[in-house]
Chains A and B, each alone.
Chain A
Amino acid sequence: MAFQLYKTRLKCLFRNKENIFWSYVFPMALVTLFYFAFNNLFSSSDIKTINIAYVHSQTEQAQTEHAQTEHTQTMQDNQIENNMDALKNVLKSAKMSNGLPLFNVNYTDIDEAGRALEKDEISAYIVGGVSPSVYVKKNGLYQTIVKSFMDSYNRGAYTVQSILQKNPDALNQGLLDDIIDTKSFTTEVKKDVEPNVVLTYYYALLAMCCLMAANWGLDEVINIQGNRTNRGARISVSPVHKVKLLLINMLAGFTGHAGSIALVLIYMIKGLGIDFGNHLPHLILACVIGSIIGQFIGAVVGVWVNKSYGIQSAITTSVVMIGSFLSGMMYVDMKHLIAKNAPILSYINPVNLVSDSFYSLYYYDDFSRFYLNIIILVIMSVVLGVISYLGLRRKTYASI
């Protein structure tokens, strides 16, 4: 008998096209879109070689031309020439920490450089001379790197001067080589897992899918209340015990919804290769509890909000959507902002608790944070379950 009820209910559920769309089709579509959109956005690409242009200063050019025509190279010309060569060489030989050249230098005149800057072909151009200056279009990291490089070039020159004052023989001891040979003073420690902020989107999305069970839970309690639906009224006069029927229906709802979660999860892990860490049983536990608490949220709304079905379903959807927003599904920094500024909120938001469970499984070595989340979720589910039961029990209708 119980199995018959379960089977019938399951059939009903799978004929509800709307629920099937929002629980089965929509998450799959959304996660695919996330994948396409974010795949390249935050991918761990290396810094690219920075395109810059080098322009001789006007006076410098005039002087060189002058020098060439007159064939009289003064000491100062010589020095400027050397300076320029040094800067050019240093720009050319600068390397990034991964060994690629830092700059791609284009030697040109000032008009051409200005045009290239305008079109974003180069990040900056350097006008050489006794004190070189940097021209940029906007503030940014590449511009900062160029400036910091020029600073260090100036420093190098100053270092040579001040060392030579004290130790005139330094040049013969290889001072210039030492200046040019920059050593790296940092070494990277790698943890097992990379901090990858994109995962927050996927985790929040999966948590949202779990909590979407709210719509299924809502359906179940609506269908069992005599004053809500005709079917509820018919069930009320049937000889089946209400609690038994409710449990069976909830179980059917859970089965139907868990199917969607399993599908999305398999698709995310196998199809899209999203990293959930290596604790599959824990992961499934978090999904199951997320789905259960979702059902109870729907049940509470269905029992205690005395409004039309449209309004009830709008309320459950908004609760889930706002919860997803606060756990970073639309704007990834949100989760962290909440955790820092309003920590309470992150402990009562079920979507965040579920997505944080995924996150702690992936990112932390121990399970303490995971279990904390799970315990809070279990307590919340029990409380919600009791609240919805209190509204359902011992209902009698004189006339409907």
Chain B
Amino acid sequence: MPVFKTYFKIMKKQLTGLILYGIMFITITLMVTFFIIRDSSKEFAVSRVPILLINNDGDNEFIEAFTSYLDGYVKFMDVEDSDDARRDALFYHEVNYILTIPEGFTVRFLSGEEDRLIKEILPDKMAAVQSVDSAIDNYLNMARVYIKYNPGFDVAELTEFLKNNPVSETEVIIESKKKDTLDAAEFNSYYFNYLGYIMIVCFVLGVSTVMMSFHGLDIRRRQFASPVSSRGFNLQLILANLMFVLVYLVIFNVVGYLVNPFRRIDFSLILNWINTFVYALVILCISFFIGITVKGKNAVQALSTALSLGMAFLSGMFVPQQFLGSAVLRVASFLPSYWYVRANDTIGSLTEYNIRNLTPVLQYMAIQIGFAAVFLAFVLVVAKRKRQVAT
């Protein structure tokens, strides 16, 4: 099978690029996995918000008790003592909250006067800010009420009261019936979404370049003069393309299984695999189309970058679909990658398998097959015209 062999000979030249993308992808995956593992402890832990505390009131018993209480809800960060450094820390989300205790706060507060702490916050981290706000308010309100109804108190008595309160913390239980399944699903939906991006880059880079070599006018003419029939030629090309796709998918699906720290083979994973296969067919048809229409290697390079980044950003491969605007999503629904990501996300959220749950997944796959058919039709039209030109 000379055509089949030549296909992989040409592909070899692209191998460095393909491997580089693969390595980059696996490295980033491992990094993200590390974050997922770190976040998923089985015991409840308070999410401590990083804050910067600036105490202009000096150390005293009351402030000490207050900060040691706050330590249960926030993480005190050390930031260099300059205005610029503080502002940088806030800008880069190193701290979410800068709390300043103004001078004389303790005296005013203990004498029952109304006074407030000063905060600088991150407007895009309102949940964290709310968490710190309520911790501060709870504590100071308690102190306020105590002061109001115990007119002749002393500070030691007050801090003692605040320290012992509450006698017991609220019990928090993590219900983790299906925790492992959930972690595996979270990893998979991340992995397969990102894989969608890498597949576009690699397929366009690999398949399109090879197809371009085969569809040059002179090559075409020489091929017509050769004893290999046109049908055999095309069959070998299709076979080679499918071979490439299969090898690629097997490698990345196995790697995806191996690097998943929560690995388990279940029906969801098999659905993910089927989805990648369907998607691979779409991308294969698109790459084929690019390969026979675009002239010039540099153009293929530019297209592979532009197409992959565009589809990845619009379809929610990098930023989850739930965070994209509705207008963006509407535009994206004209892209096959959008349906690929949707299928992955739906598979990831499956908790039980029945016809009603699986129907949308199958629908999304069917839409992708529709895209593949459209591009295949394009390929046939263009190929036919090229054949006419060549003969």
Contact = CB atoms under 8 A, between A and B. Distances in A.
A142 B157 CA distance: 33
Contacts of B110: none
A133 B171 contact: yes
Contact of B309 (A33, A148, A163): A33
B226 interface: no
Given A45-B124, A189-B119, A191-B120, A336 B94 contact: yes
B175 A137 contact: yes
Interface string A117-155: 111000000000001111111111111110111111011
A185 B134 CA distance: 9
B165 A159 contact: yes
Contact of B87 (A47, A166, A187, A363): A363
Interface string A159-174: 1001100110010010
A47, A175, A194, A195 — most chain B CB neighbours (10 Å): A195
A166 B150 contact: yes
A22 B117 CA distance: 51
Interface string A288-312: 0000000000000000000000000
Contact of B145 (A38, A163, A187): A163
B137 A155 contact: no
A189 B171 contact: no
Contacts of B314: 33, 36-37
Nearest to A30: B309
Interface residues of A, number: 84
B46 interface: yes
A151 B166 contact: yes
Given A38-B319, A141-B128, A148-B131, A195 B91 contact: yes
A37 B323 CA distance: 8
B112 interface: no
B372 to A, nearest CB: 24
B44, B128, B134, B328 — most chain A CB neighbours (10 Å): B134
Given A132-B170, A136-B175, A152 B138 contact: yes
Q: How large is the interface on B (under 10, 10 to 19, 20 to 34, 35 or more residues)?
A: 35 or more
B144 interface: yes
A97 interface: yes
A257 interface: no
Interface string B309-349: 11001100011000111001000000000000000000000
A335 B116 contact: no
A278 interface: no
Contacts of B328: 36
Contact of A40 (B129, B136, B318, B324): B324
Contacts of B171: 131, 133-134
Contacts of A138: 40, 174
A147 B170 contact: yes
B172 A163 contact: no
A44 B127 CA distance: 11
Interface string A170-198: 10010100110011111111010011110
B149 A173 contact: yes
Nearest to B332: A36
B325 to A, nearest CB: 6
A21, A141, A154 — most chain B CB neighbours (10 Å): A141
Interface in B114-149: 116-124, 126-131, 133-138, 140-142, 144-146, 148-149
A364 interface: yes
B173 A119 contact: no
B229 interface: no
A339 B170 contact: no
Given A18-B298, A163-B146, A335-B92, A189 B120 contact: yes
Given A152-B138, A182-B137, A197-B93, A134 B165 contact: no
A130 B161 CA distance: 22
A46 interface: yes
Interface of A: 18, 21-22, 25-26, 29-30, 33-34, 36-47, 96-97, 114, 117-119, 131-145, 147-152, 154-156, 158-159, 162-163, 166-167, 170, 173, 175, 178-179, 182-189, 191, 194-197, 200, 332-333, 335-336, 339, 363-364, 369
9 pairs of A and B residues whose beta carbons are closest in the complex: A44-B123, A152-B138, A336-B92, A33-B313, A150-B170, A133-B171, A47-B126, A195-B91, A187-B116
11 contacts: A33-B310, A133-B173, A135-B172, A136-B173, A139-B44, A141-B128, A182-B138, A184-B116, A185-B136, A186-B137, A195-B123
